[in-house]
Amino acid sequence: MRTSTFRIILSLMALGYSFTAWATHQVGGQLEMRALGDVPGHYRIIVTNYLEDGTPGIARQANTGNLGVFRKRDNMLMLTFTVRETAARQPVIFSNEYCAELRNLKFVVLTYEADIQLTPSAYSDAGGYYISYQTRNRNAGINNINDPSQTGFTFYLEFPALQQNGKVFDNSSPRFAPINGEYICLGDPFTFPFGATDPDSDDLRYSLVTPLNQKGTGNTQNAVSPAPYPDVNWLSGFNANNAIPGSPTLSINEQTGQLSVTATQLGLFVFAVKVEEYRNGTKIGEVRRDFQFLVIDCPPTTTPDPAVQIKNQALGIRDATICRGDSAVIQATANSNWNYQWRRDGINLANATGTSITVRDAGEYTLVVSQKAACSKTGNSESVIITVAGADGKLNSTGHLCATTGSVRMQVAGSMDVTYQWYKNGQSLSGQTTDSMVISQPGKYWTVLTLQPLGCISRTDTLSIERSPAVQAVLQSATGSHRLCPQESLALVGSGGVSYSWQKDGQILTGTTDPNYKAIAAGVYSLTATDTYGCTGVSANFVVEQIPPITVRLDTIPDMCGTNVPVVTLQGSPPGGEYNGPGVTEAAFDARTAGVGEHIVTYTVKAAPECTGIVASRMAVVAPIPTIQLIDSLITYKGNTFNLNPVYTGNPNQFQWVSSTYLDNDTTANPTITAIQDDITYTIDVKNKSGCEAKDTIHITVYERVYVPDAFTPNGDGMNDFLRLPGIEAFPDAVVTIFNRWGEVVYLSRNGYATPFDGTFNGGELPTGVYPYSLRPIPGKPPIQGRLVLIRDHP
């Protein structure tokens, strides 16, 4: 069936006009990560960049670029590397060269490459990794994003952990097909193959996404920085699923990657496609490709309708098989008003612009025809399928030959009517005539294929199978010792593989695949190391011997009262250990050096010189000798109730008062003396928890009342110059008030009688006379009242 398609221009051009010749020459591109297959972790990183040719920007385009590898989980930078331009810049071929020349459409493909070596064990994070390449700028004439001339690109690729479950995980990223130079005609249905292939036959799923901008600001051309990367800013009404307005809008087939749109708006439109890679239903990677389409108004000319056929074949035959080295001619209707462009597998072929084409390669061939003098709709021929029989095949292999074990399964892609003969080291292998073979010996293998009935003969590439070196499993202790100390573990260290299995006394130790193991029991240990290919090696036995345990003791240290005591000899067992602690010298404890306090004294003995010492400890208590602050004597009144309030130091916790008369509790620190009646002497005896002792005594004198004399003679002769009140000292809260004959207070003493009355008032002598008084010994009790005579008998 014939279909019409429309040119998609990979360009940085304003709507319908020639391109702006300045630095905004970037068109799009993508990344590829290709496993080289020789050494695990060896990859070729390919940057494909589409640019406008013939501009100042392309002239200044660098031949190197910087990329970064990052861990997805935390965006940690793992590696920075540089790619270099590796091949001649290839032109993008337009099926309508007339239209391309008319609009000055000249585009080139730049390819940058770098081979990098990644250590699989260092790339084992389950979250995976990503690679990014940043560059700038986009075309100023783009019609669906904001400020395009200041918007850059981030090419982005994700890949899985390179080591999973202790084994190397082989994978290459999806590979996008080359690009044709095409444009879209306004209002006409348009489809375009935008799919990729996967070298590992993983499942691919496609979706439209928002293109990524360059991270950061300024004019940095090629910075290396981690995600997240900003999206481009869509103009109003545009988004990832409406990048090109249409009915329907631009969409993509999730399974095939085919793009479809019937455009309803002229312009230059940028978009991006994400292809996700799935293996066994689990996503393992993704690649993004930036691109842009130009929509133009095509003149309403008649669409060419080319007819093609295989030369020397009957009309209607659409496929042919040729032997390798032979050719077939596909020819089309000749029309001098037409442009011709032949394609193989949807890709425009260079210099294939005639009415016929001679083909030698397998593929699906089509012809695109357009009017010579117009940018018009094109006509597509029906497909012609060419199969090349006897084309060199490629051997695929799985498995590995270890030093003494292992097998490899080799297979060549088979087809009907093909016979096979396998060879090893130049000798045919008897009975090996199928499309696959399992071998267990090294050598150089290939297969000769014969296609019937044509008799085309070809051979596959040669697969060199070698045994890997023996896995050298090594087991030793981290300390160099094979003895296990009591109450400790012995660190065992393995090497020689990427994962490990531990055995003790011939039994597998479950739960550990690490190269390190802590042995906590004596026995015979061994280690099986597994390398990246799954090959194993067993270490020599490592015998762990148990050092007999010891019991360390330290005799009790008696408490000491104060520091002025003899040195204590320490007793520990078994002998040969070391004493430590405050005040400890060799095997002696000196309280003078240690000082008052509770001191931890240790005795440490090693079961063997390499072992950690086993420690016994005791508390050496140098207790303070208690002290008692208590007045020697006091005077009180009969019937008084009070406390003595002694002050203690030295942490006493035992108290004994003698006698116990009048005391509410004779074993407390501060008993209450209740209603004392007679003179008495108390002795307090205290001890602390260490048995350190102190004593003190107090005598209490008890007065029954206060005696007030009838008269006193303040003559200054040193005799009876003050009013003496015998017994007043027993009443510390007494209030004494003396009045003159008019009732005025001439003397007042509160809280006892500390300053006796001397017969003066306000600095002047009071005259001879009778003075009333009031004496209240105890607050709240009735006062004693009376009169006293002040006699002055001056010479």
- CATH code assigned to 474-546: 2.60.40.10
* Half-sphere exposure for 328 (CA within 13 Å, toward CB): 25
Instruction: Point out the residues of the chain with pLDDT beneath 50.
Output: 1-23
What is the rounded CA–CA span in Å between residue 288 and residue 108? 20
Which CATH class for the 627-703 domain? mainly beta
* Contact between 91 and 52 (Cβ < 8 Å): no
Q: 101: part of which helix (H) or strand (E)?
A: helix 97-102
DSSP for 385-453 reads: EEEEETPPP-EEEEEEE-SS-EEEEEEE---TTEEEEEEETTEEPTT--SSEEEE-S-EEEEEEEEETT
In this prediction, residue 370 carries a pLDDT of 85
Question: Cα–Cα distances in Å, from 705 out to 105, 302, 635, 698, 730?
Answer: 131, 145, 12, 22, 8
Which CATH class for the 711-790 domain? mainly beta
What is the rounded CA–CA span in Å between residue 793 and residue 782? 34
Which residues contact residue 123 at a Cβ distance below 8 angstroms, ignoring those fewer than 6 apart?
41, 78, 129, 161, 162, 163
* Contact between 264 and 247 (Cβ < 8 Å): yes
Which residues contact residue 646 at a Cβ distance below 8 angstroms, ignoring those fewer than 6 apart?
628, 629, 630, 669, 670, 684, 696
- In degrees, rounded to 5, the angle at the alpha carbon of residue 81 between the alpha carbons of residues 76 and 82 is 145
**Domain made up of 312-389: CATH architecture:** Sandwich (2.60)
In this prediction, residue 414 carries a pLDDT of 63
By CB atoms closer than 10 A (0-12, 13-18, 19+), residue 534 is middle
DSSP 180: -
DSSP 27: E
* Half-sphere exposure for 242 (CA within 13 Å, toward CB): 11
In this prediction, residue 3 carries a pLDDT of 36
What is the rounded CA–CA span in Å between residue 659 and residue 671? 12
In this prediction, residue 351 carries a pLDDT of 87
What is the rounded CA–CA span in Å between residue 81 and residue 284? 23
In this prediction, residue 5 carries a pLDDT of 35
In this prediction, residue 557 carries a pLDDT of 95
Closest CA to 489 of 523, 527, 518: 518
What beta strand segments (E) does 659-692 contain? Answer: 672-673, 680-688
Task: Render pLDDT for 495-510 as a digit per residue (tens, 0 to 9).
Answer: 999 999 999 999 999 9
**Domain made up of 395-465: CATH architecture:** Sandwich (2.60)
Say which residue the tokens 């290839």 belong to.
Answer: 90
Please tell me whether residue 593 adopts helix, strand or coil conformation.
Answer: helix
Question: Cα–Cα distances in Å, from 592 out to 561, 563, 565, 585?
Answer: 11, 5, 8, 12
By CB atoms closer than 10 A (0-12, 13-18, 19+), residue 427 is exposed
